[in-house]
Amino acid sequence: MKNPWQDLQPGILKAISKDLLAHDFYWYVEARNNNQCLFYKIKDNNIELPKKNKLPSISYIKFLPASQDYKYLCVELQDKNYIDLFFEYCNLLIKASLEIEDEKVALNVFIKKAWRWQVLLSKTREKKLSEEKQKGLIGELFFLDNFLFPRFNKKISVENWFGPTGSKDFEFSKFQIEIKSKRSGSKPTISISSADQLEIIEGTKLFIAVFGIDKSDSKESFSVHDWCNKINDKIFNSNEPSVLGEFIKKLDEYGYSEDQDYSDEKWDIKEIIYYEVTDEFPKLVFDEISPAIAHVSYSIDMNQLTSFEIPKEELEDFLDVAQS
């Protein structure tokens, strides 16, 4: 590794070649304690810098937004034992904005990449998602985007998404939502993965949304990567950008990594069927299962569920009331 800070005098900015970059990046050595830094100068004074508490928190890397005669974002290495990794990190952040001319968009991408790195430092990268997992994640992100974001703020919506780890995909105080994704036209069954997945919590309602999702070559189709980026951008461009870290963490728990290539796997949502789970809904009851049974999974024939099917508008009306 060629150390760009090696012969750099503290307090002096060293421009990174502008022939390669559309934005003003500099190598910098902090004068107080000689820490290595990446310095990102913002030329447009109308761009609002995120507050320090809205930026990633990494044990040996510090983010410092500041304004003097101009605005800047300084990324500072706190532990010199990690200088090789920090150099790689800086190059990753710079590369993320290489082909983006708009300065505000480039800054957003820079920070989004920084959040992603925070998660990758704390967890081992997962393998590429299977097709079944891709469809499952797309269904959950669609519901998040089309049903929850319009009614609840981004923070509440993301915090109540438990798909990767919970017994139900979305759990709010007044309702729960379980998302099921399958190939449209396939055997009309839905898989239940645990004894309590269809358990109705007293005083709440439980709904199931079944997505029929197929592979497609259409230009209007989207990959799981497209969906993740769409939600990423909506969160970052809202007034709640700090929620981005929580969202990325949950994607990581799901096993999704933006470094994997999903460009050749595009998906169309062909249909969505909605059900309300009542006491009469066909299901196993957790309290009636012997404690000797350690795990339960089963399938339900959708042909037997027509009396529990509800129109989309009924679910939307309920959510409108629930958020008020």
Distance, in Å, from the CA atom of 178 to the CA atom of 33, rounded to the nearest integer, reads 52
Q: Which of 77, 83, 74, 84 is nearest to 25 (CA)?
A: 74
Residue 124 has pLDDT above 50, yes or no: no
Tell me the per-residue pLDDT of 207-219, one tens digit each, with 9 for 90 and over. Answer: 999 999 999 988 8
Q: What is the pLDDT of residue 237?
A: 85
Tell me the per-residue pLDDT of 136-180, one tens digit each, with 9 for 90 and over. Answer: 999 999 999 999 999 999 999 999 999 877 789 999 999 999 999
In the three-class reduction of DSSP (H, G, I as helix; E, B as strand; rest coil), residue 14 is classed as strand
Percentage with pLDDT > 70 across the chain = 93
Strand partners, 15: 26
Highest-scoring range by mean pLDDT, 75-89, 117-131, 305-319: 305-319
Q: Which of 259, 251, 289 is nearest to 165 (CA)?
A: 251
Distance, in Å, from the CA atom of 112 to the CA atom of 97, rounded to the nearest integer, reads 11
Domain boundaries defined on the chain: 14-122, 131-322
Query: Does residue 181 contact residue 211 with C-beta atoms inside 8 Å?
Result: yes
